Structure formats: structure tokens, C-alpha cells
Amino acid sequence: MLGRIRQIAAELGAAMAELDPACFDGRSAGVLMEEFARIEHFGGAGKTLMARRVDDVRAFNPSQHRSAAHYLAKVSGTSVFAAEQTIRTSHEVGDLPATEAALRAGALSSVQAKEVAAAASADPSAESLLLSRASTDGIKGLKAEAARVIAAASTDENARYDCITRERTFRHWRDHDGSGRIDVRGPLDLTARVALALAPYEAALFAAAKDRDEPVNNAALMFDALVAMADASAGEMPKGSGPLPTVNVRIDHRAFVAGDTEPGEVCEIVGLGPIPVSVARRLADDAFLKAIITGVNVLTISHLGRTIPAHLRTALDELFPECAIEGCNVAWSLEIDHNQPFEARGPTALWNLNKLCRYHHQQKTRHDLRLVGEGTNKRLVPKAEWHPPDRITDRKRQGQPPRRRAFVAA
Ligand SMILES: [Zn+2]
């Protein structure tokens, strides 16, 4: 089977190399596009069916990918969230023979399969109704029908509440247009508590806007209220939570002075993405901001103790906006790791330090692994396969800094 699928993929690849859309008249262009949609369905179906097996037998390298979803996200070029849904659908489809048959026949897109499987799992008697809706209705209609089926099937309110609690999430990302986005999902009483806490801030902002005789946009006002609440709570950090968290902005010194970036220069919130230089300059006085302005060599900084000096920390922030493991893009709660452990006489020097997400840090420590590779494209290997970097020690012996250049200011 593997050989057959590989051959089909190879033939498809060869056909794609020759495909010239301009050669088709209107009718055949439409027919061909429909064929590609069918191929897409088959591809999605195969991926969905295999995902369960990959998840069950953990057919991935745990030092590279923390779960089947992370693996699937990597090979599919999708978000981990989308991959998790595919795996959930894959497990659900196992108990839904009619849905699985439709999937195998190429009759369902991945989105349709997800909606049908989720609702039919909640109420298997609705499976054929959902499949017929999928074939005739648009996605919006199918989603509405699926939501109705799920709501009607939920007899145990407490179980549903517990499920929502277990799957609570907070996500923060930069959207394609450059705007910041936050998505919060969880039990309704708790999201209501957050929304209610905004009310006094919203009321104050509303009153101020009325005083100034400004038009009021309610949604925009709620956003401003959220920021005002965050600013107000910054002075009341929980006990033992350490220093005030900061937003790291990385910007070239020239750009910071000149007020705009030139090609090759950066101005970004570390881990999130680009922002205008004017915003970075405005933020420069802000207590939340730690500007990392490029310009000073930190590679010569080394330290005898285990504690990592501030200069070195700033350099690591610069070098590792995300986990050092290739393909792991986790940018929050990163931990500093001594590649050659401190206990094994590994020095607190930049060449021996990396930032890892909690998962990969734990994997490395638990199995006594070592990191090999460059920058944020490293991978974990057994201790025996790792050798101290001769190149660096040789150059150090000669009193020279390592060849790689990185510039960071304190
Ligand atoms: Zn990681």
C-alpha cells in the first residue's frame, strides 16, 4: 500500500510540474479544479484515517515532537490546534462507519468530516442526517446543524461543563494584517467574570469619552478597558511571582535612532512579530518593555557560577525568541539550559546555553540528552553522540571569541 500511495504522489507531482492553467478553456478549467478538490478530499481522508494509528502507536520521535498533534502540524504545515482536531476526528470516525465510508469515498472535506464526526459522536442516530447535510448544505449550515445535534445530545450538563473546563485555552498571536489577537475559551461563568471585571474600566472610559463629546464604539471601548485593567493590575503582582514580566522588543540600533527599518533590519516583539519603529520608541519608557537594541558584542561574556548574568540573559533572549528545537515554535515560558550540564562542569557561557520550552527541557534532562545544530534548528541526541565543540574551544584557547556573531546590548 505504501508503495502504491507513493507512486500516486509521484505521478501527481510530475503532472503538477507540467500544469499550465492558461491552457484550459473555462469549462475544462472548472472540471480540473473539481478534480483537484476531490484529490484534496482524498488526501485529507488519508491523513485523518492514519492520524489515529500514529497517535495510538506514538509513531513519532518524542525528542522532536511532543505529541502526535505537533508531528501532524509540522508535516501538514497547520497549527497544532488544527492538528489536534484532526486527531480527535480520526478517533471519532473509528466508531462512525458511515462517516468513515464517506471519507474514504472522497465525499467529505476535512472541515466537513470534523463537524460530522463531532456531532455524530455526541448522537450517533444523527449520523445520516449530518452526512446528507454535508452533501447538500454549505459549511455554515452544516456547522449550525452539528451545534444543534450536540446541544440536544448533551443530557449531562455537569459532564459538559467539566469537558469545557478541561479544554480551557488562552491563545495570543499576531494576525496576518499585523494586529494582535487573543482568544479565550472556557467555562461561561469564568469568562463572564473576566468580562464583568472590565465593567468599571469601561464605565470610566465611557464617561471620559462623553465628557470630550467623542463618538463611542462599544467594542473598541471594551478593548481599551481590557488594557486599562492590565495596566492597573501590573502593580499588584501575586506574591513570589518574581520580577514584573516584560515585553521583549528586538530592534536594530540604527532603526531605533532613524525611526524606520531598512531591509534586513528588525523591529519586533520577540516571539510575536514585527511592530512599527514608532511603537517601539513609544514603548521605550514603558515599564513592561525590555528593549534589546542590537549593537554590543556579548559573546565574550562568560561567568563562573551557575547563575546567568543579565547580559547573558539578554543575549539568550535575542538568540532564542523560541525553543531551540527545530520545528518547536513555543515562545513562552522558555527555560535556560546548560547543554553540557553545570553538574558535569558545563560552563555558563553563551556557546553552552540554549533556551528550551518546558517540554523539551524536561526531555533533555530526563534522558540526559545533548543539543546539536545551529540556533533554533537544534535537535536532541544521546549524550554519547555529542562532542564538545572543538572549533569553539580551540578559538577560546587562542583567546578569540567563537566565529558566530551576535550583537546585543545590555
Ligand atoms: Zn520545545
Q: Is 160 within a domain?
A: no
pLDDT over 80 at 247, yes or no: no
What distance in Å separates the CA atoms of residue 102 and residue 88, rounded to the nearest whole number? Answer: 17
* Statement to judge: residues 348 and 324 lie in one domain: yes
* Statement to judge: residues 179 and 219 lie in one domain: yes
pLDDT tens figures, 206-224 = 999 999 998 888 889 999 9
Say how many Å lie between the CA of residue 207 and the centre of ligand 1.
46
CA-nearest of 188, 185, 54, 38 to 107 is 38
Cβ-count burial of 222 within 10 angstroms (0-12 exposed, 13-18 middle, 19+ buried)?
A: middle
Say how many Å lie between the CA of residue 246 and the centre of ligand 1.
21
**Average predicted confidence (pLDDT) for the chain:** 82
pLDDT over 80 at 285, yes or no: no
Backbone angles phi, psi at 367, to 5 degrees: -100, 10
Is the CA virtual torsion 313, 173, 168, 127 positive or negative? negative
Domain final residue, candidates 155, 184, 205: 155
* Statement to judge: residues 261 and 314 lie in one domain: no
Say how many Å lie between the CA of residue 374 and the centre of ligand 1.
15
CB contact set of 6 (below 8 Å; sequence gap of 6+) = none
Q: pTM value?
A: 0.56
pLDDT at 243: 54
Contact 300/402 with Cβ under 8 angstroms? no
- Pick the range with the lowest mean pLDDT from 48-52, 151-155, 240-244, 292-296: 292-296
Say how many Å lie between the CA of residue 361 and the centre of ligand 1.
7
Cβ-count burial of 211 within 10 angstroms (0-12 exposed, 13-18 middle, 19+ buried)?
A: exposed
**Could you tell me the pLDDT band of residue 244, with boundaries at 50, 70 and 90?**
low
* Statement to judge: residues 132 and 180 lie in one domain: no
Q: Is 308 within a domain?
A: yes
pLDDT at 84: 93
pLDDT at 187: 86
Q: Is 239 within a domain?
A: no
pLDDT at 393: 44
Say how many Å lie between the CA of residue 53 and the centre of ligand 1.
24
What distance in Å separates the CA atoms of residue 364 and residue 353, rounded to the nearest whole number? Answer: 13
Q: Is 386 within a domain?
A: yes
pLDDT over 70 at 407, yes or no: no
What distance in Å separates the CA atoms of residue 276 and residue 134, rounded to the nearest whole number? Answer: 44
Q: Is 161 within a domain?
A: no
pLDDT at 398: 44
Higher-scoring residue by pLDDT: 68, 159: 68
**Could you tell me the pLDDT band of residue 283, with boundaries at 50, 70 and 90?**
low
Say how many Å lie between the CA of residue 379 and the centre of ligand 1.
10
What distance in Å separates the CA atoms of residue 218 and residue 201, rounded to the nearest whole number? Answer: 12
Say how many Å lie between the CA of residue 325 and the centre of ligand 1.
5
Q: Residue 295 region, left (φ>0) first, then alpha (ψ -120 to 50), else beta?
A: left
* Statement to judge: residues 223 and 358 lie in one domain: no
* Statement to judge: residues 262 and 383 lie in one domain: no
Contact 340/352 with Cβ under 8 angstroms? yes
**DSSP labels, 366-409:** HTTEEEEEETTEEEEEEGGG----HHHHHHHHTT---S---B--
Say how many Å lie between the CA of residue 341 and the centre of ligand 1.
18
Q: Is 311 within a domain?
A: yes
* Statement to judge: residues 200 and 329 lie in one domain: no
Is the CA virtual torsion 150, 156, 161, 167 positive or negative? negative
* Statement to judge: residues 223 and 254 lie in one domain: no
**Count of domains for the chain:** 4
**Domain hosting residue 209, numbered range:** 170-233
384: Cα within 13 Å, side-chain hemisphere? 0
Q: Is 165 within a domain?
A: no
* Statement to judge: residues 82 and 128 lie in one domain: yes
Mean pLDDT of all residues in 139-143: 87
Domain final residue, candidates 155, 190, 205: 155
Say how many Å lie between the CA of residue 102 and the centre of ligand 1.
37
Domain final residue, candidates 155, 187, 215: 155
**Could you tell me the pLDDT band of residue 390, with boundaries at 50, 70 and 90?**
low
Mean pLDDT of all residues in 114-130: 93
Q: Is 209 within a domain?
A: yes
pLDDT over 70 at 394, yes or no: no
pLDDT tens figures, 298-357 = 333 344 445 667 667 777 887 888 899 988 888 888 889 999 988 887 877 788 899 999
CB atoms within 10 A of CB 380: 22
Provide the 3-class DSSP secondary structure of residue 104.
helix
**DSSP labels, 180-245:** EEEEEE--HHHHHHHHHHHHHHHHHHHHHHHHTT----HHHHHHHHHHHHHHHHTTSPPTT--SPP
* Statement to judge: residues 254 and 318 lie in one domain: no
Say how many Å lie between the CA of residue 331 and the centre of ligand 1.
9
pLDDT over 70 at 387, yes or no: yes
* Statement to judge: residues 66 and 146 lie in one domain: yes
**DSSP labels, 105-145:** TT---HHHHHHHHHHHHH-GGGHHHHHHHHHHS-HHHHHHH
Say how many Å lie between the CA of residue 52 and the centre of ligand 1.
23
Using the structure block, give the residue that is written with the C-alpha cell 558584542.
297
* Statement to judge: residues 45 and 73 lie in one domain: yes
